Amino acid sequence: MKPWQNRLARYTQTTITVVTQVAAIGASFPAFGGSHDTPLFGLVTASLCWVIAVTVHETGHCLGARVGGMTLWSMNVMGVEIHFMRRGWRWRWSSLSRRRIAGIVMAIDVLDRPLRRQRLWLCAGGPAANAILAIFSGLLAWLFLSGTGDYLLAALSIVNAGLALVNLVPHLGKLPSDGLQLLRLRKPVTAWAPEYAMLRLLANSMAGRTADQLPEEDLVLLEQQPALAPLIALWYRHKADQNRGHWAKAIAWQEPADAMIRQMDASTRDALADFVNTLQFELAFSRTMQTGDLAYLRRHTLDAKAAWLSPWLPLRRQALEQLLGMNAEQCHGMLAHARLLAGNSKDRSAEPSEALLHGHMLERYSLAPA
């Protein structure tokens, strides 16, 4: 988009948002009988309708991703972050204030279905869910209810309609709007284009291919792309060396990784803090495996979020400590628990990768498998 088009789109979104909120507050006024507290109640009602609308919007994206056949990874609504697992889900508080967005859904494409169709379902799902709720609540208020209920349903209808329209306006902010993504999807999209090397690597990982099994040509393409792509390629190559038990090669990635991280600006480093922390942890793990010295691993502990996202990593670290201390029973118990947690991840490569690492740990330090 041209800068003036993007500014116009932003002004349009702001106008729709303001008009929607004012209309929702006004629609809810009769529900409170015109008391002196009516404006406050109207504002609270509009705010609650907004929370419901955002939740419905992100849920619509999730449903769209599932219908399209994508792997659903996570959803964040108003700071409530939900990670979807192979069995069940986990949640935690995670602020979105830095991104200045109300919600986000992360889903991974699959390679055996048309890419364009998957993304159309994902992008259209959010506005469609808001539009459906807007029509349903509006009709319900008009046809069946009277009194307080119909005014509140009218406010809910207005807010959902407004949110659907705001998201359909093509605009590039922190993230592209649904409307801009749908506009981009007018053109044919193929997952096998060179620029989608990262997508293919992610999809293969989700399907269960460990880093040592990933296509070399895609790793080469990723290394040739700008920005952060080479660091992600380095992650895959380091994991491949870990999976093969090539510890000297694995620790050789430390220097290029440090160089790439130093080149990041502060905002990028902050945005990728969890990824960088996990990479440094894995590099320290490799060095400990090579040397038998736990000091490296103890200097590079996982932060709280990285440990929450990959709960098997702290257990693997503790198991290595027990292994080097010749505590067989606790080591085997921790490794078994780590594999159980990794096996519940949507990333189907996590469990087989952990199994390879656990085998290398036991073999290298001469502790017979349980």
pLDDT in tens, 150-195: 888 999 999 999 999 999 999 998 899 999 999 999 988 888 999 9
- Secondary structure E strands in the chain: 71-77, 80-84, 89-93, 103-108
Where residue 227 falls among pLDDT bands split at 50, 70, 90? Answer: confident
Residue found by looking up tokens 């994991």 in the block: 239
Task: Give residue 60's pLDDT.
Answer: 98
Q: Say if 100 falls within a structural domain.
A: yes
Same domain, 82 and 53: yes
Question: Is pLDDT larger for residue 95 or for residue 158?
Answer: 158
CA 116 centroid distance within chain? 20
Same domain, 356 and 284: yes
Which three-class secondary structure state does DSSP give residue 108?
strand
Average pLDDT over residues 358-363: 94
Mean pLDDT of the chain: 92
Where residue 98 falls among pLDDT bands split at 50, 70, 90? Answer: low
Residue found by looking up tokens 């504002």 in the block: 43
How do residues 302-335 score in pLDDT, each as one tens digit?
999 999 999 999 999 999 999 998 888 899 999 9
Which of 149, 184, 219 finishes a domain? Answer: 184
| Nearest-angstrom CA–CA distance, 8 and 317 | 52
pLDDT at 89 over 80: yes
Q: Say if 370 falls within a structural domain.
A: no
Query: Given the DSSP bridges, would you call strands 103-108 and 71-77 parallel, antiparallel or unpaired?
Result: antiparallel
Q: Say if 164 falls within a structural domain.
A: yes
Long-range contacts of 258-265 (CB under 8 A, 24+ apart): 260/230, 260/231, 260/234, 261/231, 264/228
Q: Is 104 exposed, middle or buried (0-12, 13-18, 19+ CB in 10 A)?
A: middle
Q: Which of 309, 362, 363, 308 is nearest to 334 (CA)?
A: 362
Same domain, 167 and 27: yes
Same domain, 254 and 356: yes
CB 262 within 8 A of CB 295: no
Task: Give residue 123's pLDDT.
Answer: 97
* Counted domains in the chain: 2
Which of 161, 184, 207 finishes a domain? Answer: 184
Task: Give residue 31's pLDDT.
Answer: 64
Task: Give residue 185's pLDDT.
Answer: 95
The pTM score is: 0.91
**Per-residue DSSP letter, 176:** B
Backbone angles phi, psi at 217, to 5 degrees: -65, -35
Task: Give residue 65's pLDDT.
Answer: 97
Average pLDDT over residues 236-246: 98
Same domain, 254 and 278: yes
Same domain, 88 and 108: yes
How do residues 12-65 score in pLDDT, each as one tens digit?
999 999 999 999 988 887 766 655 556 777 788 889 999 999 999 999 999 999
pLDDT at 149 over 60: yes
Same domain, 237 and 302: yes
Q: Say if 369 falls within a structural domain.
A: no
Q: Say if 189 falls within a structural domain.
A: no
Same domain, 208 and 294: yes
Task: Give residue 37's pLDDT.
Answer: 56
CA 338 centroid distance within chain? 22
Q: Say if 340 falls within a structural domain.
A: yes
Q: 237 is written with which tokens?
A: 């190559």
Average pLDDT over residues 229-253: 97
Backbone angles phi, psi at 298, to 5 degrees: -75, -25
| Nearest-angstrom CA–CA distance, 320 and 327 | 10
Where residue 104 falls among pLDDT bands split at 50, 70, 90? Answer: very high
Task: Give residue 99's pLDDT.
Answer: 62
pLDDT at 119 over 60: yes
β-pair partners for 82:
75, 91
Q: Say if 287 falls within a structural domain.
A: yes
> How is the chain split among helix, strand and coil, in percent rounded to 5?
70, 5, 25
What CATH number corresponds to the domain at position 245?
A: 1.25.40
**Per-residue DSSP letter, 102:** S
Same domain, 207 and 167: no
| Nearest-angstrom CA–CA distance, 242 and 282 | 9
Average pLDDT over residues 204-218: 97
Question: Is pLDDT larger for residue 39 or for residue 7?
Answer: 7
Task: Give residue 329's pLDDT.
Answer: 86
| Domain, as residue range, for 87 | 3-184
Instruction: Annotate 66-91 with DSSP letters as a single string.
Output: HHHT-EEEEEEETTEEEEE-SSSEEE
Average pLDDT over residues 214-239: 95
